[in-house]
Amino acid sequence: QIPWDREDKFAMPVSVWDDLMATNFPNSGWVRLHRETLDALAAYKSSHGMLGFDDAVLRLLDTAEEDP
């Protein structure tokens, strides 16, 4: 066993990672965001009474499509 304050490297095949993500997070994708962007999105979500980030992103996209 490896203590929590240590780490080790392991060459995990991409297919194993993909299967793991598909099993634990079905119908999901990953987007890398800067911390400031994620904080701003969380603040927007909270200030509009939304429960999930999906709701916030979809509303922002809908608003962007309405603007010329």
pLDDT in tens, 53-66: 999 999 999 999 88
Q: What is the pLDDT of residue 28?
A: 92
pLDDT above 70 for 68: no
Q: Which residues contact 47 (CB under 8 A, 6 or more apart)?
A: none
pLDDT in tens, 15-47: 999 999 999 999 998 899 999 999 999 999 999
Cα–Cα dist 17/53, whole Å: 23
Distances (CA, A) of 3 to 6, 7, 10, 11, 18: 6, 8, 15, 19, 26
